[in-house]
Amino acid sequence: MESLRQHFTGIATKYLSRVDATRNSNQHEIGSNAFVRILGDPGQISVFLRGVFLYFSDGAEEPLRATGQLTWYDSRRHQPQRASEYRLYYPDNAVTLRMTEADFCVIAVRPDNTVMIIVTPPGSTSERQLRWLFGIDHVSSDRFQTQEVQGARQVSIVESMILEELGIAPTGGDENWLDVLLQRFGPAFPATAVFSQFARDTCPQNIGDLGSSDAVLMAWMEHEEMLFRTLERYLVQIQLNVGFESVDDFIRVSLSVQNRRKSRVGHALEHHLAAIFTLREMPFGRQVQTENRATVDFLFPSQQAYLDSEYPDERLVMLASKSSCKDRWRQVLTEAGRIRVKHLFTLEPAISAHQTSEMRAHNLQLVIPASLFGSYSDVQQQWLQSLDQYVNQTRQVVWG
């Protein structure tokens, strides 16, 4: 996988003040000499930069987006006797009109000098995920704090999911695998189950050496992500070389690529979880329909047991699988009415304390890979379950 440095060179963070979030005529102004570290010294000229604006709110599937020109300059450039005072101006748009005092703000500079202004409500899942992505420990409400993005930081599949929400598509492929993929599948994507099986079969890590279910799952997911990106880049390039018959044809292909990216990770996660349960010799039903046509991703020990009114409720266990959670965790509450405590496995890091408290109040237990525990607070970690813990608990509950 590529490094985070390939996508960002530097960032500045702050909880917005009233002045930061208040209009000045038809523009907003942020002043900080600290920006020189990430934007450079404009000298005696005004530097015009492309701005991308994003506002994330918990519960929304997509962020609010806008673009506009930014102006970066020294407001005292004509006053050589006075110390420089740098300003970054940006125009009104749907995002700037949404942001308010105390919102969390990240100003992120990309290698092409595009500046992303990303705003989220304080304490939200989006804030926590951005802080986890960029390694932001402390945020001030008094002044912007800047830091350079380190070159050695590698992007994981989970971090790639956050980047895609920002509108950035990591490449993450490995051309050394292209011939193997083409020999096996030709110039086309196979069914998701077939591709996931291929990923497991070719994963270079020795599954026996990895040991834990969490490590096995993430090794498979990372390897499949690399294989997918490799084949996708090749197939999309073929389409680009051929060209498009019309604007509608271009839009159709573009939407197809985007939809495949969004759905593939979820399918891969479900396929690999099923393989883990099979390796652990855990009989289960998959995509089981229960009450009111609700479908459960995994049901232990079986659909037959669930439909048997004589089978004890307390020996039934379910698991929903969602690569990203958002507010869709509430859908799980309607599944498998006989089971009081629902379980949800997700790759979503750093879900807010407010959201996890709601989950607990609704008897929903969150299960995440052990490697993501560090993105949660110490209090949340005491409640979370790893995949290994879930497997052990389920085996104990169902089979004793």
Question: pLDDT digits over 107-164, tens only?
Answer: 999 999 999 999 999 999 999 999 999 999 889 888 899 999 986 667 899 999 999 9
In this structure, how many other beta carbons lie within 10 angstroms of the beta carbon of residue 246?
8
Query: 341 pLDDT band (50/70/90 cuts)?
Result: very high
Please determine, for residue 25, whether its predicted confidence score (pLDDT) is greater than 70: no
List, in sequence order, every residue forming a beta bridge with 109; answer none if it has no partner: 10, 115
Contact 46, 69 (CB under 8 A): no
Helices within 91-155 (DSSP H only)? 94-98, 125-134
What pLDDT score was predicted for residue 53?
96
What pLDDT score was predicted for residue 150?
80
What pLDDT score was predicted for residue 187?
93
Q: Give per-residue pLDDT as tens, 152-185.
A: 667 899 999 999 999 998 877 889 999 999 999 9
Tell me the C-alpha distance between 217 and 340, whole Å. Answer: 27
Catalytic annotation present for 15 = no
| CB neighbour burial string for 275-297, b if at least 16 within 10 angstroms, e if fewer | bbbeeeebebbbebebeeeeebb
Out of 86, 90, 306, 390, the active site residue is: 306
Tell me the C-alpha distance between 342 and 332, whole Å. Answer: 7
pLDDT cut 70: percent of the chain above it: 96
What pLDDT score was predicted for residue 249?
79
Query: For residue 68, what is the DSSP state?
Result: E
* Domains, in order of start, for the chain: 4-165 (2.40.330), 175-279 (3.40.91.80), 285-399 (3.40.91.80)
> In terms of Cα–Cα distance, which of 145, 147, 141 is closest to 19?
141
Query: 210 pLDDT band (50/70/90 cuts)?
Result: low
Contact 84, 74 (CB under 8 A): yes
pTM: 0.91
Please determine, for residue 224, whether its predicted confidence score (pLDDT) is greater than 90: yes
